[in-house]
Structure 1
Amino acid sequence: MTWPEGSFDDSVLKPLWLDNPSRPPARESLDQPAEADLLIVGGGFTGLWTALRALERDPTAKVLLIEADRIADHASGRNGGFCEASITHGAANGRARWPDEYAILHELGIRNLDEIAATVERYDIDCGLARGGVLTVATRDHEIADLGPGTQGFLDATAVRKLVDSPTYLAGHHSPDDSVLVDPARLAWGLADAAERLGARLAEHTRLASLHDRGSHIEAATDRVLIKAKKVVIATNAFPNPLRRLRLPVVPVYDYVLATEPLTDEQLQAIKWDPAIGVNDSGTRFHYYRLTPDRRILWGGYDAVYHFGRSIRAQHYDRRETFDKLARHFAETFPQLAGIRFTHRWSGVIDTSSRFCAFFGTAHRGRTAYATGFTGLGVGASRFAADVMLDLLDGRPTERTRLKMVRRKPLPFPPEPLAWIGIQITQWAMRRQDRTGRRNVWLRVLDRFGMGFDS
């Protein structure tokens, strides 16, 4: 057996971030009827930011958050910890979809990232926040032009390998100011603690069963009790929710991740990597990777797996075919780390929308708000989404709610079997584009109608 074959055979199927002895104990479930000014459904970043921002706006508000499992148990505790300023899934996507307002979208994204960093400092959240930006690398000749040769931040092969040394790098672009790295689980736990200190009530293992407008209030039924709420926020993202209108615009996509054993001093010297800098490559099917505070390499991405029927099941979390592929790609990228083993493997469900970024709306005569469809960039954009939803519930136009990005909805994905067929064709076309550097007719048609598939 030659490396990397079998390199993850002894790994645990558990997110590195959640495999932590300092994880807070489970909070009590809701077992008595309750009333709230604001009920939040979902204990990931979107829900947690909404709870915190609601109480920062109005310290007297009675805020209740319910989570079906544990705080940060799903996407918020399973991602790579890249917290980006972009609320549009990158500049190219933002400019293409909202060219006349991209400047303000970019400014709002940078402001949002600054406010995330300020929140971490204000509430003393120990999440290892490091502001070194993102290094985007080209590993194929046709990818170099997209990195902007001659522009600020562009790095040729020699320069990029001084930042991170891989023989696969042909060029790079370093954006130092528009992204931070965090331990996402610790960030989520810190936000939960901060919200509770301000007066929020958080209940875990409390699953929403139904939601109804009763005229004087919104009635939420859990698996055990009833909740009366003046206003509601739905923050379930890829997971089922009670609003039928959200069942087609989002598809659940599985993203897979490996984490190595801690690197030795010699191994760190061999790759010359500043741990404050995250890396992604330029493929349409891309990898993202970073060093963790305990000197591991977190290596994820590439495969974005959609299961027929928008299926979300526990058995989808472990997919040897994808983990094998990730291990081989890691070995090609860092041959100087030959023999290193992976201690953790895991996956998570991404809420993918056809426009690649979150969309927003209301129900129940404006008393329920939702945000979903973050398409892999929810760590940072979830805070922006929280403010959008609170603005929508207030009912007064703001700079955020006047945005076309907020007012317009994406085209929905079709029902089955068309969704499955379309996604498979799109993934085939994306693989072809990575090889050739050219978008074929299928992808150009999707571009024309503002649709796409990403993770």
Structure 2
Amino acid sequence: MPSHAPTPAPTNGHVSHWFDGPPVPRPPLPGSRDADICIVGAGYTGLWTAYYLKQADPSLRIVVLEARFAGFGASGRNGGWLSGLVPGDRERMARQYGRDAVVAWQRALNDAVDEVIDVAARENIDAGIVKGGTLEIARNPAQATRLAAAADAESRWGVDGVATLTAGESAQRIRLAGVLAAYHNPHCARIQPASLARGLADTVQRLGVDLYERSPATEIGPGGVATPWGTVRAPIVLRATEGFTARLPGLRRRWLPMNSSMIATEPIPQRIWEDIGWQGRETLGDTAHGFFYAQRTVDDRIAIGGRSVPYRFGSRLDRDGQVPRRTITRLRQTLHSILPQVADVPIAHGWCGVLAVPRDWEATVDFDPSSGLGWAGGYVGHGVTATNRAARTLTDLVLGRSSALTELPWVGHRSRGWEPEPLRWIGVRGMYLAYQAADWHEFRGSAGTSPIAVIADRIAGRPH
């Protein structure tokens, strides 16, 4: 007789699906000590920076401090898009810094995709990397208009290889429901993000970097970093705290911790994959205002993400990735709307995390030689690749090396702070409610972008 046992509820939180259970943490800082460079944060930015600094000068005494464990933040929770996406608005940055500088920035990010792949191979980091590019789709006329404009913009900014696809051509890659048009950008690879973070952590330790987990920074300033277990005294201190920056003294309004959520299915049977396709392991996204992002995982699941509760009052953070159950339901509905073939495949896991958003939605890299303080971040959700270029740039700045990277437009860029509460919460909450309304309007026949979204973009200062 057939079984009618209820489907188990998805695992909720526990950081993310990308970790096979909680990793065994490294020891905390054993007491006060001296170093040449102290890096706060063992996500991609901090780990890549330690890697390039140690490559440049093996004699450097480098300490990395991490509040929980390497990859605990966005580096171990993201959608796994190693893409050339710019963490900001190219048009706005061009008005401020010149078109040539922004074209160079875009090319540097595209090049970084291959650099990450090369380093992973050289250092034996198995991050499930497949460079299949990105497939962007449109499912209504308004989305199709934006998609065409986005494909044209990629060409104008010197992104080579972008191909516009008909619905039929898109289906040859992935058989999705309701696609009107699509384009393929080759500058992206699917990765297992936590594997990359943990592999980088092991690599920098092997190179001689001291990495201490369970060692939260309680004070960061010129000359050192204080923790509950002691102080690291160092003439150079680099902050790589991304979405957790608002928790640090004096930085609550510097970058807003924006929330993003994901779900992952159980492994999908081969007979269903034969119907879906997706043999190229492209990353997948759409041009809705409340967009989704997805990948076919190393173990043949589908992981898909999007916004849910975009911001928590007072810049509060999630509890180890726990996500509202309504978010899991909403993401499941999105998945089933584009891939009805998986309607009977259970959802295994739901989780969330935060990314850092500056007030003008532009990332930054900076170093002040007079104080010895440096930082990088504010990647607005496009940090998997950008962290690599930011780290190489920060390395050149710290070592006083003038290079093409130190001339890129995000170096030294400053954003004004976010508004105080409750204006911050009201504004972000209102922006995403407006985007939901705009998507509803467009799916019901609006030929062009909903004016609701246009107004929300202008008020928020968000790229569009």
TM-score (norm 1): 0.89
Q: Is residue 168 of structure 1 aligned with residue 175 of structure 2?
A: no
Alignment partner of 1:299 is 2:301? no
Cα distance in 2 for partners of 1:179, 1:428 equals: 30
Match of 1:452 in 2: 462
Structure 2 counterpart of 1:361, one-letter code: D
Q: Alpha-carbon deviation of 1:96?
A: 6.9
What corresponds to 2:11 in structure 1?
A: 11
Sort the Cα spacing of 1:7 and 1:108 in 2 relative to 1 into closer, same or farther, 3 A: farther
When residues 196 and 271 of structure 1 are mapped into structure 2, their CA distance, relative to the original with a 3 A threshold, is same
* Cα pair distance change 1:440/1:354, threshold 3 Å: farther
Could you tell me how far 1:400 is from its partner in structure 2?
2.6
How far, CA to CA, are the matches of 1:93 and 1:326 in structure 2?
A: 32
2:143 aligns to what?
143
Is residue 426–residue 443 contact of structure 1 (8 Å, CA) maintained in 2?
Answer: no
Which residue matches 2:156?
none
Question: 1:276 deviation in Å?
Answer: 2.2
- Identify if the C-alpha distance between structure 1 residues 426 and 453 changes in structure 2 by more than 3 Å, giving closer, same or farther: farther
Structure 2 partner of 1:80: 79
Q: Contact (CA 8 Å) 1:88, 1:94: kept in 2 or not? A: no
Q: Quote the residue 1:183 is aligned against.
A: 192
User: Which residue matches 1:37?
Assistant: 36
1:211 alignment partner, SS class: strand
Equivalent residue in structure 2 for 1:159, among 161, 164, 169: 169
Unaligned stretches of 5+ residues in structure 1: 1-5
Partner SS state of residue 128, structure 1: coil
Alpha-carbon distance in 2 for matches of 1:189, 1:44: 9
Structure 1 residues 355 and 304: alpha-carbon distance in aligned structure 2, compared to 1, 3 A threshold: farther
Aligned position for 2:155: none
Q: Is the 8 A contact 2:97 2:409 kept in 1?
A: yes
> 389-398 or 161-170, which moves further after superposition?
389-398
Structure 1's 8 and 77: CA in aligned 2 closer, same or farther, altered over 3 A? Answer: farther
Q: 184-193 vs 437-446, which deviates more?
A: 437-446
1: CA distance between counterparts of 2:344 and 2:247?
Answer: 48
Higher mean displacement: 357-366 or 372-381: 357-366
Query: Unpaired segments of 5 or more residues in structure 2?
Result: 1-5, 153-161, 443-447
Measured after TM superposition, the shift of residue 81 of structure 1 is 0.8
Structure 1 pair 446–335 and aligned structure 2 pair: CA distance change class (3 A) = closer
Cα deviation per residue 1:365-417 (whole Å; 9 max; x = unaligned)? 34010112111111111111112222332345432333332222123221111
Distance 2:71 2:173 in 1: 32
- Deviation per CA, 1:408-431: give whole Å up to 9, x if none: 212322111111121122223323
1:254 aligns with 2:259: yes
Q: Which amino acid aligns with 1:87?
A: V
Q: Matches of residues 229-244 of structure 1 in structure 2 within 5 Å?
A: 229-240=234-245
Moved beyond 4 Å, runs of 4+: 89-99, 149-152, 241-245, 441-446
Q: Report how many residues are paired.
A: 441
Please state whether the residue corresponding to 2:18 is helix, strand or coil.
Answer: helix
Structure 1 counterpart SS, 2:189: strand
- For 1:117, the equivalent position in structure 2 comes to 117
Correspondences of 1:363-374 after superposition (within 5 Å): 365-374=370-379
Number of the residue aligned with 2:322: 317
1:352 paired residue number = 357
Q: What are the superposed Cα offsets for residues 122-142 of structure 1, whole Å, 9 maximum, x if unpaired? A: 111111111010000001111
Q: For 1:96 and 1:170, how far apart are their aligned partners in 2?
A: 33
Can you list the C-alpha shifts for 1:162-200, whole angstroms capped at 9, x where unaligned? 211112211110112x11111111111111111112111
Change in Cα spacing, 1:125 to 1:205, as seen in structure 2 (3 Å) is same
Residue of structure 1 in register with 2:57 after alignment: 58
